[in-house]
Amino acid sequence: MIVENVMTAPVISVEPSTSIGEVAKIMLAHRISGLPVVERVGRLVGVVSEGDLLRRSELGTERKRPWWLEFLVGPGKIADEYVHAHGRKVEEVMSTDVVTIRSDAPLDDVIEAMSRHRIKRLPVIKDDKLIGIVTRSDILRALARALPSASAEEAVNDEQIRNAIVTELARQDWGGPFIRVNVQNGAVELIGSIFDERERMASRVIAENVPGVKSVKDQLIWIEPVSGMVILPPDDSKR
């Protein structure tokens, strides 16, 4: 799946000359927390977000420091903060160091960029022009569409269920020959040994994701590799 399949388009944007008041009204009306800033030719020049509008003189929230700390910060930084607190146009308060994504990039690149830069949205670029925006909500909508629905699942028999679970376990570095799988009328039983308690939940998730599975019973015994201590499986009836 690529960005173009999940992005929001057309995207709501503003021009650099748009007033701060107009930006605030647009954000509130559309319930969004950030807007791309685009020149008339379609070139992306920045992003304005709620965070850019929090330190404002009108609210009495502009940044305040002791005089000695302002001396250490320097006049340039203080002048820049003054512009953000008193500026009336988007171009005076927007962030110009914008992280973007190509329309043909895989979703994995989106997640990596959001995690690395700690951001919630990415403007989507094609031929050097803004064509959309991809947000965390867009990713969640794509996930909701990708998850199989119970009504859409095809009928499968116990052997098909077992083969699917065993095959997926074999693909994992942590999965292996120590886990056996029994299936009867869609009820899965996991039997055998694990050497890390986290493998227990991972094994259950594999089974639960196979179409046709009605329940999963955990009979896995955890063997602690260093001490050799054996911990019996949990009692599902007490959960």
Residues 25 and 124 in one domain: yes
Report the pLDDT value the prediction gives residue 146, as an integer from 0 to 100: 84
| Span 4-52, pLDDT tens digits | 999 999 999 999 999 999 999 999 999 998 999 999 888 999 999 998 9
pLDDT at 128 over 90: no
The residue-averaged pLDDT of 164-179 equals 86
Of the candidates 84, 118, 145, which is a domain's last residue? 145
Question: Based on the domain organization, do 56 and 136 belong to the same domain?
Answer: yes
CB 175 within 8 A of CB 203: yes
Task: Please report which confidence band the pLDDT of residue 176 belongs to, taking 50, 70 and 90 as the band edges.
Answer: low
The boundaries of the domain holding residue 184 are: 153-238
Q: pTM for this one?
A: 0.68
Of 115, 145, 175, the position where a domain reaches its end is 145
Q: Are 140 and 157 part of one and the same domain?
A: no
Report how many domains make up the chain.
2
Last residue of one domain, picked from the residues 87, 111, 145: 145
Q: What is the rounded CA–CA span in Å between residue 211 and residue 168?
A: 13
pLDDT at 149: 64
Instruction: Specify the CATH number for the domain of residue 38.
Output: 3.10.580.10
Q: Which stretches of the chain are DSSP H helices?
A: 3-6, 20-30, 67-73, 75-86, 90-93, 107-117, 136-146, 158-171, 198-208
Token digits of residue 98: 């914008």
CATH number for the domain spanning 211: value is 3.30.1340.30
